[in-house]
Structure 1
Amino acid sequence: MTFTVLTAEFVTESNTFNKNRVDYDAFHCLFGDDAIKERGNANTELAGFCDCVRDYGWNHIHVLSAESDCFVVTRDAFDRLGGAMIAAAVAHKAQLDGILLALHGAMVTEFCEDGEGELLGRLRAAVGPDMPIAITLDPHANVTLKMCELANIVVSYKTYPHVDMRKCGRQAGDILQRAMKGEIRPRTLRVHPPMLREANSGRTDVGPMIDRIAKAIAYEKEPGVFAVSINSGFGCADIREVGPTVTVTYDGNETKHRVFAESIADDIWEKRFDIIDYFMPVEEAVEIAKCYKSDQGPLIIADYADNPGAGAYGDSTDLLKALLDAGVMNAACGPMFDPETAKQLHGHKVGDHVKVKLGGKSDPRFGGSPLELEGEVCLISDGFYTGDGPMIGGLHLSFGETAVLRVGGIEILVVSGGGQMLDLQQFRAFGIDPAAKTVVALKSQQHFRAAFEPIAGKIILCDSGALCTTHLDKLPYRNVQRPIFPIDRDM
């Protein structure tokens, strides 16, 4: 029997402490075949869906692939993008056998804390209670009860950096195929310890998550178990159901599976103080940079707190200022989000000497004020690049208007479109070879490791005090359920 499956990707992670909002025009959105052409053979969930289409012979209706910066989503954007998905489900309801969605799991809208739950609720109202719905999630999802009640199948990536998104999409599609055939009647249970996030934000390359993921994969081989997802949570969302979760998609009696999920959740709670990473202050990071010898590869300084991929503004200046003040040479820094300065630099030509007021414009309280700098324009670009690393290889992306400004011994990548550093081409496409630098300061938390770890001589993490600071007690939470760790540290 040939099944008809509707698919879509609607992916964003909302930092509720960021004052910006993402509207419809700010989403990078591709529709139908255009999305399949761009994303159907890369490290994307859509590629995994397309693998199932080919292998199972599905009739495939792909609505859209949309992703954005990590801000709260406007009602208009949610209604238009979600509405396109609902309209397609209604239009094809008579022949539709299943729905397969790539979501993030930490979307907050102007009118709702649980964007994914709201979307699934509207879908259920359109197609009824019996149609199987499968969703994929980022491991930093804040998985809500509503998501688990409305989606039969929940599958999260198992890697951070996320190098298994295609594999995750395929796993969800395989389970959906069995559900559509009537072999299984999957549902999903959830366990949720009272924490803002897992102690190490879900790192899967080192630490306790390695063993947890191994146990999850082994448990997926148990009878009646189809997926085990361990989500570290997204602590920069001030919502009631924030935090880590363990979910099991299963068929049959849930008691045994809930015990397993609780054992993983208990381990997350018991190891809540076991932090692997050391997030050094800017001053300490720069002292290391001043003395660093690049015989074995560059020193990578990751500004953890100013990661645009987690909703930071991406324009903090404290680390760059300290590197400049210390006279660090043969260095690169980026991306520095500053559309105003990028536009100013586009009014010049390569080789011009210019004065700029760089960065620190979004909210100087988080990571520093604008820097008054003089430098040389090294490159002017439209910002387009093609990834070639493990995470975004083959994807065509853009920083918008982009320029490279050399100040002292540092080449600064100035961009007008947000995005964290997670691929070498995000430097190389703009004339900066990170492997040839002594010091590379970049804005990312963990994803950079997939591409930059192989070229690095040493990696250190820096907390510049920007919006994604590791000191969560400095953020003005109002909506989270209390008590919660680590705000209520002695609970």
Structure 2
Amino acid sequence: MSHHVLTAEFIHESNTFKMGLTQLRAFEVDLLKEGDVAIAERGDAPTELAGFLDGAREAGWKVSHVISAHAEPGSKVSREAFDYVADRICAAVEAKKETLDGILLGLHGAMVTEFCEDGEGELLKRIRAIVGDKMPIAITLDLHANATPDMVRDADIIVSYKTYPHVDMRLAGQQAARQLENAMAGNTRPATLRAHRPMLDEVNGGRSDSGPIVPLYEAARKYETEPGILAVSINSGFGEADIRDVGPTVLVTYDSNLPGAAVRARDIAEGIADVIWDVRRETENVYLDVTDAVKIAQDFDTSNGPLIIADYADNPGSGAYGDATNLLKAMIDGALQNATFGPVIDPDAALALSAHPVGSVVTAPIGGKNDPALGGGPLVLTGEIRLISDGNLIGDGPMIGGLHFSFGTSVVFRVAHIDILITTERGQMLDLQQFKAFGIIPEEKSVVALKSMQHFRAAFEPIAGRVIVCDSGALSTPQAHKRPYKNAPRPIFPLDPDLAI
């Protein structure tokens, strides 16, 4: 029998330390598309929705896709923006509930709104109020989810990504779809349990390429082959959200019809959580200050590729402002040659510079305007306008290959021997096209400085002679004690470094 499944995507990672609110416009700029239009955009790309549709074709479902909504990580989501998306999902559930067999949602797991700490839990609660307890609901989560008890209560099946950089979003969607099909067919009766440790996040942010968590992902895949164990999700947490349920979790979805499955699921979850706690001091990244990073760049041998410098602390992908200037200033002061830096997210500068013809030499204040105390204030720079663009591009890398992306009005501003990409809209560097579309060829540069924590590695590490990471002092500094936590439960690691459990 063919099943009828409602699908939707509603994704935001909320940094509660960032000023302001993420309004509906942020979703409109990034992704806010409904029905078949959303499917045309995302239905055959490295996305959760593509995985859902793969599962639908495999099982012969009828799919009603409501909406795909995504905004770049930022401040808390406004009530208006949350209700706009949630109301459309809930209205579709209400209208179709008599024929629906299941619901499949692509979520993040770290959405905080202006009126509640748990956006995903709120959405699931509203849906459960419409369909009751019996209809199976499956969700996918980013592995940086702060997975809450409410999410676990109202979602029967939870599947998180197992890669960071996130290159398995489509696979996660496929897994969730297959488990939902098994539940709708009556083959399983899924339930999910949660293990949690008192930490802001896993110390390496869930890196799947290096570090002590890598074997845990492999173990999770192996556990998923056991009878009754349907999904094992390791969530590193998102420490930039100051909420009660912050921190790493392990979620195990199991078949409650199978005797002993719940006990085995609990053993798996607690065992993995224990390891996350035990390795809490085993940091993979060496966080250089900007001066030391530039010293390395000055003497770097580029014969095997450029030096990639990642500004970890000013990563727009964790909600940072993306306009910190400490690293850029150090690069200019260090007289780096054949270098590039980007993005500097500065709408005022992009607008002002774009008013001049290409080739003009202009003096303008660049960056540092949101909070100069975090990562450096504006730099008054004189340079040549090399390119002006509408900022639109199509990614071709492992994370956004085939997907449209836009930085909005953008300018390449050459100061000394550094090409600076100044943009209007937010976005971290995770695809080579985010430079190449603006005439900057990363492979031909000696130094490529970019704003990202980890996702950049998927596209940039293959071309790099070396990768280094720096802490520019911006909003997402790895020095968590510099953020004014008020809601996270105490004691918690690393704010309370001597905590024992």
Q: TM-score, normalised by structure 2?
A: 0.97
Residue in 2 that maps onto 1:111: 115
**Correspondence 1:468 to 2:476:** yes
- CA drift at 1:72: 0.7
Residue in 1 that maps onto 2:155: 151
Task: Give 3-state SS (helix, strand or coil) of 2:352's partner.
Answer: helix
Deviations 1:31-84 (A, max 9, x none): 111110010011000000110121111111001111112221000110110100
Q: Is the 8 A contact 1:22 1:69 kept in 2?
A: no
Equivalent positions of 1:209-288 (< 5 A) are 209-252=213-256, 253=260, 254-288=262-296
Equivalent in 444, 448, 451 of residue 452 of structure 2:
444
Equivalent in 101, 104, 121 of residue 97 of structure 1:
101
**Correspondence 1:7 to 2:7:** yes
Equivalent in 312, 317, 326 of residue 304 of structure 1:
312
**Correspondence 1:365 to 2:373:** yes
**Correspondence 1:400 to 2:404:** no
Deviations 1:115-149 (A, max 9, x none): 00000000000111111000000000000000001
Equivalent in 385, 388, 394 of residue 396 of structure 2:
388
- CA drift at 1:423: 0.1
Equivalent positions of 1:449-460 (< 5 A) are 449-460=457-468
How many equivalent pairs are there? 491
Task: Give 3-state SS (helix, strand or coil) of 2:87's partner.
Answer: helix
Question: Partners of 1:296 and 1:260 in 2: how far apart?
Answer: 43
- CA drift at 1:480: 0.4
Residue in 1 that maps onto 2:132: 128
Q: Is the 8 A contact 1:188 1:249 kept in 2?
A: yes
Task: Give 3-state SS (helix, strand or coil) of 2:371's partner.
Answer: coil
Q: Is the 8 A contact 1:301 1:459 kept in 2?
A: yes
Task: Give 3-state SS (helix, strand or coil) of 2:453's partner.
Answer: coil
Q: Is the 8 A contact 1:246 1:265 kept in 2?
A: yes
Q: Which amino acid is 2:105 matched to?
A: L
Q: Which amino acid is 1:68 matched to?
A: A
**Correspondence 1:79 to 2:83:** yes
Task: Give 3-state SS (helix, strand or coil) of 2:213's partner.
Answer: helix
Question: Partners of 2:448 and 2:121 in 1: how far apart?
Answer: 40
Residue in 1 that maps onto 2:16: 16
Deviations 1:147-179 (A, max 9, x none): 001000000000000000000000000000000
Residue in 1 that maps onto 2:26: 26
Residue in 1 that maps onto 2:382: 374
Q: Which amino acid is 1:368 matched to?
A: G
Task: Give 3-state SS (helix, strand or coil) of 1:446's partner.
Answer: coil
Structural RMSD (CA) = 0.6
Question: Partners of 1:352 and 1:238 in 2: how far apart?
Answer: 45
- CA drift at 1:20: 2.5
**Quick one: percent identity of the two aligned structures?**
59
- CA drift at 1:391: 0.5
Q: Is the 8 A contact 1:197 1:235 kept in 2?
A: yes
- CA drift at 1:293: 2.1
Question: Partners of 1:486 and 1:428 in 2: how far apart?
Answer: 39
Single out whichever of 202-211 and 130-139 deviates more from structure 2.
202-211
Equivalent in 171, 179, 186 of residue 183 of structure 2:
179
Task: Give 3-state SS (helix, strand or coil) of 2:206's partner.
Answer: coil
- CA drift at 1:106: 0.1
Equivalent positions of 1:411-426 (< 5 A) are 411-426=419-434
Task: Give 3-state SS (helix, strand or coil) of 1:30's partner.
Answer: strand
Question: Partners of 1:312 and 1:41 in 2: how far apart?
Answer: 30
- CA drift at 1:256: 1.9
Question: Partners of 1:457 and 1:77 in 2: how far apart?
Answer: 43
Task: Give 3-state SS (helix, strand or coil) of 1:125's partner.
Answer: helix
**Correspondence 1:197 to 2:201:** yes
Q: Which amino acid is 1:202 matched to?
A: G
Question: Partners of 2:23 and 2:92 in 1: how far apart?
Answer: 21
Question: Partners of 1:137 and 1:69 in 2: how far apart?
Answer: 16
Q: Is the 8 A contact 1:148 1:189 kept in 2?
A: yes
Task: Give 3-state SS (helix, strand or coil) of 1:21's partner.
Answer: coil
Question: Partners of 1:462 and 1:68 in 2: how far apart?
Answer: 26
Question: Partners of 1:132 and 1:425 in 2: how far apart?
Answer: 40
Task: Give 3-state SS (helix, strand or coil) of 1:73's partner.
Answer: coil
Deviations 1:446-491 (A, max 9, x none): 0000000010001000000000000000100000011100001111
Q: Which amino acid is 1:20 matched to?
A: G
Deviations 1:194-227 (A, max 9, x none): 0000011100001111110111001001111110
Question: Partners of 1:209 and 1:47 in 2: how far apart?
Answer: 27
Q: Is the 8 A contact 2:212 2:282 kept in 1?
A: no
Structure 2 gaps, min length 5: none
Residue in 2 that maps onto 1:325: 333
Residue in 1 that maps onto 2:323: 315
- CA drift at 1:24: 1.2
Q: Which amino acid is 2:442 matched to?
A: P
- CA drift at 1:25: 1.9
- CA drift at 1:345: 1.3
Question: Partners of 2:133 and 2:409 in 1: how far apart?
Answer: 47
Q: Is the 8 A contact 2:49 2:173 kept in 1?
A: yes
Single out whichever of 61-70 and 103-112 deviates more from structure 2.
61-70
Task: Give 3-state SS (helix, strand or coil) of 1:295's partner.
Answer: helix
Q: TM-score, normalised by structure 1?
A: 0.99
Q: Is the 8 A contact 2:392 2:406 kept in 1?
A: yes
